[in-house]
Amino acid sequence: MMKKIFYLLLFVSCVHFAMAQSQSNVIDEIVWVVGDDAILLSDVENQRLMMQSEGVRLEGDPYCFIPEQIAVQKLYLNQAKIDSIEVNEANIIQQVDYWMNQVQNQFGSREKMEEYFGRKYSQIKEERKETEREGAIIRQMQSQLVGEVKLTPSEVRKFYNQLPQDSLPTIPTTVEVQIITLEPTIPLEEIDAIKARLREYTEDIYSGKRSFSLLARLYSEDPGSAMQGGDMGYVSKGNLLPEFANVAFNLTDPSRVSQIVQTEYGYHIIQLIEKRGDRINVRHILLRPKVSEKELNEATVKMDSLYADIKAEKFSFEEAALYLSYDKDSKNNKGLMVNKKESNNYGTPKFEMQELAPEIGRVINDLEVGEISKPFTMITDRQKEVVAIVKLKSRTLQHKANMSDDYQVLKSMVENQKREELLKDWILKKQKSTYVRISEGWRNCDFQFPGWVKE
C-alpha cells in the first residue's frame, strides 16, 4: 500500500508535465470521468512514457494502474476543495524556485532546459507550481483524514506476534555513538576579513552596483538559500536562531541591509522582503570563517592530550563530554548522539552506518564496542570544521526484527499500516458517492480499489 501511495505522489509530481507534452495532432479521447474531471488517453499514455523513462517499474497493466491512480488523486483534490484545504503559497514558490534551479543546473543552461521540456521557462515554472501545489494539498488532505495515530505497546506486541517469521523485516546493523568535539580558534584577522567583505557587499547594494540576491547567489555559503538569491521563505520567529531573529524581525525597510549578525553558522547580513503577521520573509548572505592549518593542528594537539587523559582514566569519556565538548546537541547527554535523519531511527540514539557523517562512519567501522577513537577532523551539520573523538557505545548486527531491540521500528510499521487502512477505507467510501464513468475497453481490470465500475 505504501508503494501505491508513493506512486500516487509520483503522479502528482509529474502529471502536469505529461499533459503538457501531449501533441495537438494526436487523436484523444476521454477514458475515465471522476466527478467533474476527465482523464484523457493522452494523460495516461504520457504518464506511462514518463514513468518508463524514469525507470519506475509498474505492477500489472499500466492502462489499469495509471488511470486508477490518477482517479484516486482526483478524489483527494475534490475533497480538498470541499474542505477548503489551503497550502502555504510562499512555501510552494520556494520549493518551485529550488527545483527550477536544480534542474537548470543539471542541464547546464536555461536554453537546454527549455529544449528538453519543449516549453518556455515560464511555462515550466507555472506547471511545476501547480504540481507542487497539488502534491501539498494531497499530503495535507491525507494528514487531515488520518489524524494522529496513537498506539499502545500491547498493540505493537500483538502486531509482532501475528507476523509470520518470514515476514519480519530485516533490521540493518545499527550503532550508538558518543562524541566529543573541539572547535579550532578562529583568528581575529579572519573574522575581520569576513566582516570587511560583508560591509563591501552592503556598499555595493546601496550604490546599485549589485543586488542583494545576485551577491547571495555568488557568495553566500548557505546552500539552502544561496540558489534562491538568499531568500529563506516565510518563517516564524521560533524557527530562527535567536540572534538572527532579533535582527530580522526588527527590520522595517526592504531597501535597507541589516548590521552584521553573528550566529553559530557564521556571519550574516539580512534584507527584509515582506512581513505577514507573525511570519517574515528575508534574504541573507552567510560567510563562514575558514580554519587555518595552524589552528587545526593546535586543536588536534589539545584533543590528543584529552584522548590520552581518558585512556589513562583520569576522567571518563562522559565527564569530558559534559565539561569540554563543543557539541551542544550531545554534551548534556553524556556525549550520546541522537539520530535526526528521516528514518525509523529518528529521535533515537540508533544509527545505520550510512546515517552517520562520513568521517564518523569510517572511524566507527574499525572500533570495538567500548573503544575510543583517536582524534580526527570532520565537518559538522553546521558546516564547521572540528576535531573529534568518538566512542562506540553499542553495535547491533543485522537481524530479524524483535520486540526488545526494535520496538520503535515495529511501532512505525503499525502506524503506517493503520494510516494505510484509514486511507483505503476513505477511498472505498468516497467511490460510492462520486460519479465515475469508465469507457468500454478500460473496465476489465483488477483494480486496487474495487467499486469504480458500478453494476
Q: What's the CATH code of the domain at 33?
A: 1.10.4030.10
pLDDT confidence of 20, banded at 50, 70, 90?
very low
Highest mean pLDDT (candidates 162-176, 194-208, 221-235, 409-423): 194-208
Single out the residue of 55, 56, 37, 46 nearest to residue 18, CA to CA.
46
For residue 258, what is the domain's CATH number?
3.10.50.40
3-state secondary structure 359-370: HHHHHHCCCCCC
Give 96-128 pLDDT, tens digit per residue: 877 787 777 778 888 888 888 777 888 888 888
DSSP state of 372: B
Cβ count within 10 A of residue 238: 8
Q: Measured on CA atoms in the order 263, 267, 272, 273, is the torsion positive or negative?
A: negative
Q: Residue 360: phi, psi to the nearest 5?
A: -70, -40
**Residue 275 shares a structural domain with residue 349:** no
Local confidence band at 74 (pLDDT 50, 70, 90 cut-offs): very high
39 inside domain: yes
Give the model confidence (pLDDT) of 308-350 as tens digits. Answer: 999 999 999 999 999 999 998 899 999 999 998 877 788 889 9
User: Is residue 10 domain-shared with residue 134, that is, in the same domain?
Assistant: yes
Q: Which residue has the cell 510552494?
A: 92
**Confidence at residue 436, expressed as pLDDT on a 0 to 100 scale:** 93
Q: Helices in 183-289 by DSSP H: which ranges?
A: 188-207, 212-219, 242-248
In a domain, 406, yes or no: no
Q: Tens digit of pLDDT for each residue in 385-418?
A: 999 999 999 999 999 998 988 888 888 888 888 9
- Identify the domain containing residue 27 by its residue range: 2-149+416-438
Contact call for residues 407 and 156 (beta carbons, < 8 A):
yes
The pLDDT assigned to 50 comes to: 64
Do 30 and 142 have their domain in common? yes
pLDDT of residue 7: 44
User: Is 334 part of any domain?
Assistant: yes
On whether both 335 and 282 belong to a single domain, the answer is no
Q: 111 vs 141, 198, 358, CA distance in Å?
A: 37, 33, 37
Same domain, 178 and 320: yes
Q: Which residue type sits at 448?
A: Q
Q: Is the pTM of this model over 0.75?
A: no
Amino acid at 350: K
Checking if the pLDDT of 244 tops 80, the result is yes
Give the mean model confidence (pLDDT) for residues 413-437: 91
Evaluate whether 181 touches 387 at the Cβ level (below 8 Å).
Answer: yes
What residue spans of 60-172 are helical by DSSP H?
A: 62-82, 89-107, 110-117, 121-146, 153-162
- For residue 42, the model assigns a pLDDT of 84
Instruction: Report the percent of the chain where pLDDT is more than 90.
Output: 53
Give the bridge partners for 275, in sequence order.
280
Share the mean pLDDT of the chain.
87
Q: Are residues 274 and 392 in the same domain?
A: no
CA distance 155 to 398: 25
Q: Is residue 160 domain-resident?
A: no
Which range in 39-53, 129-143, 169-183 is most confidently predicted, on average pLDDT? 169-183
- Regarding whether 145 and 12 lie in a shared domain, the answer is yes
